[in-house]
Amino acid sequence: MTTTRRKFLSTGAIAAGAATLAAPAVHAQSPIRWRMQTYAGAALGEHVCKPAIDNFNRIAAGQMEIELYYADQLVPTSELFRAMQSGTIDAVQSDDDSMQSPTEVTVFGGYFPFASRYSLDVPVLFNQYGLKEIWEQEYAAVGVQHISAGAWDPCHFATKDPINSLADLEGKRVFTFPTAGRFLAQFGVVPMQLPWEDIQVALQTGELDGIAWCGITEDYTVGWADVTQYFLTNNLSGAWIGHFFANADRWAEVPDNLKLLMQVCFEQSHYYRQWWYWGGEADLRVNGPKLELTSIPDAEWATVEEKAREFWDEIAAESEVKAKVVEIFKQYNDVMSKAGRPYRYG
């Protein structure tokens, strides 16, 4: 049967009209937009957060976009948790301690004294010893999604005056984390809390005598090595515990494929930090031109480690959750000590 052009146009138009009525309307969807603030200032954020966000935005290909803000740009770091919980900010990169999370695990964020020796300790503790589940439960209870935990740099003193004994710490005004400050106060340290971006000026003006906030890689990266003269090789912790978090309601709105992409990008960020810090800590101690190395004798520093164990028990007595975390730290460090080299030395 031959179909004439006129008949085709007539019947085709009817069919097309029917199809138009039957098919749902399709509208171009706007991308999901999030605002994330990191604890880090711009210089540090270029390493510890921006690459992950850039990768996520690139791979998400218009489905979602995260706008990154650095320390104190939207809210002060101490208010990060509340802003995320309320939805003012969608996501945060921080340790628990700095942003003053109202959870039982907050005291362990940042630098819990001597809980870790090396950066690999942190992912093992979270993925093999149960910390991941504890953190997820604690944050779910306050309306926040714990996305990812990672190990970052060790905690050392960088100071304007040399530290060669515990007595040299007496009266030193030091920028540090709340829990680290609570522990160090027994050695005469005066803990100070200031906006991250104000630290360099505070060291120059004499408001601060030093910092116990990071390792030597960060000291050089953010400019603190320019305004301090000495670096203490003894460390308070072998690795900072930091995380990525999100408002639970915002997280629930994200499609599963983008949740997975976010997790992968954040895990890659943790991995980058592990080797970036690890290599930098060694190289800058040996080749860095700005900071002179000092050390407190091992026998004297051992008394600090003994006090840390007392501090652990003090924290454990505060709640069941804290006791559970401290017990995990004890079990893990016991295993590492018995395993010996390369897991533990001495």
Q: 194 and 61, same structural domain? A: no
Per-residue model confidence as pLDDT tens digits over 71-108: 999 999 999 999 999 999 999 999 999 999 999 999 99
Tell me the pLDDT band of 23, cut-offs 50, 70 and 90: very low
The total number of structural domains that make up the chain:
2
**Is 21 among the domain residues?**
no
Q: 275 and 226, same structural domain? A: no
**Is 54 among the domain residues?**
yes
Per-residue model confidence as pLDDT tens digits over 251-309: 999 999 999 999 999 999 999 999 999 999 999 999 999 999 999 999 999 999 999 99
**Is 322 among the domain residues?**
yes
Round to whole Å and give the CA distance between 130 and 245: 18
Residue 201 lies in domain: 155-238+288-339
**Is 139 among the domain residues?**
yes
Are 171 and 182 in contact, with CB atoms under 8 Å apart? no
For all residues of the chain together, what is the average pLDDT? 92
Q: 278 and 223, same structural domain? A: no
Beta bridge partners of 214: 156
DSSP letters of 169-196? GTT-EEEE-HHHHHHHGGGT-EEE---G
Exposure string over 287-321, b if 16+ CB within 10 A, otherwise e: ebebbeebebeeeebeebeebbeebbeebbeeeeb
Mean pLDDT of 224-236: 98
Q: 210 and 97, same structural domain? A: no
Q: 82 and 46, same structural domain? A: yes
Round to whole Å and give the CA distance between 276 and 220: 13
